[in-house]
Amino acid sequence: MAATPTFLLRVSVTTDVAIKVTLTKRPESVKELINILREKAKPRLDFEFTLHYEDPDFGGQLSCLLDIQELPEKVTLKIIRSERDTSSCASSDTDILPLVPISQRQKSWPDIFSVPTFSYEVEHVLEKGNSAFATSAKTLKLTRSQKHNILENMAALMYDFKPYPSDNDVGMAAEALVTAHPCLKEPGSVSGWCGWKMSLKFKMGDYRGKLSRSGCLEVSVNAGKRSKNYPDKEHPHSNIKRARRAEVNFLPNLPKGESQASLEEMRLQIMDEVQKSQQNLRLIEKLMQKTFALRRLEIIQENPQVKDFLGKWPALRIESQLCAEFQRITNVNLRNQFYAVLDQHTPRLMALYRQKAARTGKISEALRDILKIYELQEVHDVNMKRTLALRALPVYLREEDPQFFKTWNVEESDEPGIIDTPVALVTAVTEDTADPVNFSPASICIVVEDDVTMSDIPNLADAFALLIGLMYALHLDYPKTLINTFTFIQKIIMGLDDGKALKPRLLSLKNDLLME
């Protein structure tokens, strides 16, 4: 009697993550094999995909697996997102998420500010003024209506990028205006545009007031504060609800034709769909996109408890939906940006850690301990290098919080000790260890406000990426003891610059990285 064949599969889940799967028999169908792989790689494969295998008949070239009888006993499979999957884009990389279509703002503040086109009259006057300035350096004197037109158009364009531009942003816009139209330069001013900067600041306040009265959410949320008629209310400049971490869509308006009541019905539909054993991920994606403004309104205005909020929006516990939510808020692909920049800087970070570890002191000793554990690992793959780069980062920045990096021995207790834990990454291990880092954890879970928000995360890099997503999706503050670490991840790795100057310690690290 012939022996039953054993199927040994190497499944390429992402560009840098592969899992080994052994099957005792051939699955009945391709669909059954897909379900087996979903369970093995849970929750990474929570999207629609097809399987491609290295076909020995064509020299190992990829072929789509349509018939289960074509599956070799030993083969490498590659996961390819289905083009029908609305949560994907045209790429074979399973970690790539779409540029989510948003009816609101889709661009952040530009590196070079482009001056808008003004009314026909103003453009004609400026053209003549620029010609006169080029020949005689004579500046242009505008009428009140002409200046109003310039400021109104500039304010509208600035609002397209940010409702609350920083002082530097307004200065950039004023400088761009005078550079584009030299005849507007102010005589006697060192820069030539300081007066325009002040005028633009006042005009932006006036422009926000108009939009607030029209019901625009991201500015009307700050209305109704202290005034002559209401002297007992909150100071108008205190507790301003606005983007502080380079959020592009901080508080968008409700979709056209929708109300809070209609969006609430969609929320209930999402809850029903998430609870099903066979989730319709395309439907969840569509409904989550529709209800984005409702979630932002609730999280910004009401500031609910995280557990209660996720109870109402359970789809945010799904990795793909959390990444999509982050992209809706920032227009940045969470996984792509995080891993690309982290991998770019990891070699230099490791070199800096080793330089610091060669010195004396507590920081150097702590870095030596982490590096020693890393060197003892049999394989130094990309995930271990990422773990080293991220785990040693707070130590290098002279920050350490034992309440943030926690260890849970699953053999000793059924649940981790997370009482009085605002934010933490809990590493599950199967034996007692006093090591500051575990490069091959059983799993990692994210804890927010004493609640296990996400679990079964395979490595520290994935956990950090998802935690950044949660920070933005839930509007959470960074841990005070790790403020430099998270600011580094936000500004340097994610490229989300909020316009604030880096602290000297972070600026020094940034300059060191640029020297690589």
For the chain, domain boundaries: 7-81, 120-214, 260-330, 341-514
Give the span between the Cα atoms of 171 and 201, in whole angstroms: 9
DSSP state of 94: T
Neighbours of 16 (CB within 10 A): 15
Least confidently predicted of 7-11, 120-124, 407-411, 432-436: 432-436
Q: What are phi and psi of 102, to 5 degrees?
A: -125, 135
Tens of pLDDT, residues 153-196: 999 999 988 888 888 899 999 999 999 999 999 988 888 999 99
Residue 272 has pLDDT above 70, yes or no: yes
**Was domain 7-81 assigned CATH 3.40.50.150?**
no
For residue 261, give every residue at least 6 positions away whose Cβ sits within 8 Å of its Cβ, in sequence order, or none: none
Residue 328 has pLDDT above 60, yes or no: yes
Cis peptide before 43 (omega within 30 of 0): yes
pLDDT bucket at 95, cuts 50 / 70 / 90: very low
Give the span between the Cα atoms of 409 and 238, in whole angstroms: 45
Tens of pLDDT, residues 194-237: 999 999 999 999 999 888 888 888 888 877 654 555 555 555 55
Amino acid at the residue 143: T
Residue 83 has pLDDT above 80, yes or no: no
Residue 306 has pLDDT above 90, yes or no: yes
Q: How many CA atoms lie within 13 A of 82 on its CB side?
A: 12
User: pTM of the predicted model, to two decimals?
Assistant: 0.73
Neighbours of 452 (CB within 10 A): 17
Amino acid at the residue 51: L
Q: What is the pLDDT of residue 86?
A: 41
Q: How far is CA 430 from CA 251, 412, 424, 443, in A?
A: 44, 9, 19, 10
% of the chain exceeding 70 in pLDDT: 89
Three-state DSSP state, 7: strand
What is the CA 369 to chain-centroid distance, rounded? 31
Tens of pLDDT, residues 384-418: 999 999 999 999 999 988 889 998 888 888 788 88
For residue 445, give every residue at least 6 positions away whose Cβ sits within 8 Å of its Cβ, in sequence order, or none: 416, 425, 426, 428, 452, 453, 454, 455, 456, 457
Q: What is the pLDDT of residue 1?
A: 47
Closest CA to 444 of 500, 394, 386: 386
Neighbours of 170 (CB within 10 A): 21
Amino acid at the residue 327: Q
Q: What is the pLDDT of residue 87?
A: 41
